[in-house]
Amino acid sequence: MPVKRKETVVILGVSADIGKEICLRYLRDGYSVLGTYRVLSENVKSLRGKDNLTLFRCDLSRPKEIEKLASFAAKKKLSWKTFFSSVGTTEPIGRFFALDFDAWADSIHINGISQLRALHALYRFRSKESVSNVVFLAGGGTNNPFRCYSAYCLAKIMLIKMCELIDDENPDLNAFIVGPGFVRTKNHYETLRAGTKAEANLARVKDFWGSGKPGTSMDDIYGCMRWLEVQGRDVAGGRNFSVVHDDWGKELLARQLKGDLNMYKLRRFGNDWKSDIAGNRNKAVLATK
- Name the DSSP class of 265: S
For 79, the 3-state DSSP assignment is coil
Q: Is the pLDDT of residue 288 over 60?
A: no
Q: Is the pLDDT of residue 282 over 60?
A: no
Report yes or no on 264 lying in a domain.
Answer: yes
Provide the CATH number for the domain around residue 163.
3.40.50.720
Q: Is the pLDDT of residue 3 over 50?
A: no
Residue 78: give the domain boundaries: 8-287
Q: Is the pLDDT of residue 173 over 70?
A: yes
Strand ranges, E, within 132-289:
132-137, 173-179, 240-242
Nearest by Cα to 65 from 122, 149, 20, 15: 122
Number of separate domains in the chain = 1
Report yes or no on 39 lying in a domain.
Answer: yes
Which tens digits make up the pLDDT trace of 61-110? 999 999 999 999 999 999 999 999 999 999 999 999 999 999 999 999 99
Strand ranges, E, within 194-244:
240-242
Report yes or no on 2 lying in a domain.
Answer: no
H-assigned helices in 29-148? 42-47, 63-75, 101-108, 114-122
Answer with the residue of higher pLDDT: 271 or 27.
27
Lowest mean pLDDT, pick from 79-83, 186-190, 211-215, 262-266: 211-215
Which tens digits make up the pLDDT trace of 131-151? 999 999 999 888 889 999 999
d(CA 46, CA 30): 19
Are 118 and 124 in contact, with CB atoms under 8 Å apart? no
Report yes or no on 55 lying in a domain.
Answer: yes
Report yes or no on 1 lying in a domain.
Answer: no
Report yes or no on 166 lying in a domain.
Answer: yes
CA angle 245, 248, 249 (to 5 degrees): 145
What is the distance, to the nearest Å, from the Cα of residue 69 to the centroid of all Cα atoms in its chain? Answer: 20
> pLDDT-derived band of residue 271, with 50, 70 and 90 as boundaries?
low
Strand ranges, E, within 147-186:
173-179
Answer with the residue of higher pLDDT: 277 or 260.
260
Report yes or no on 142 lying in a domain.
Answer: yes
Report yes or no on 150 lying in a domain.
Answer: yes
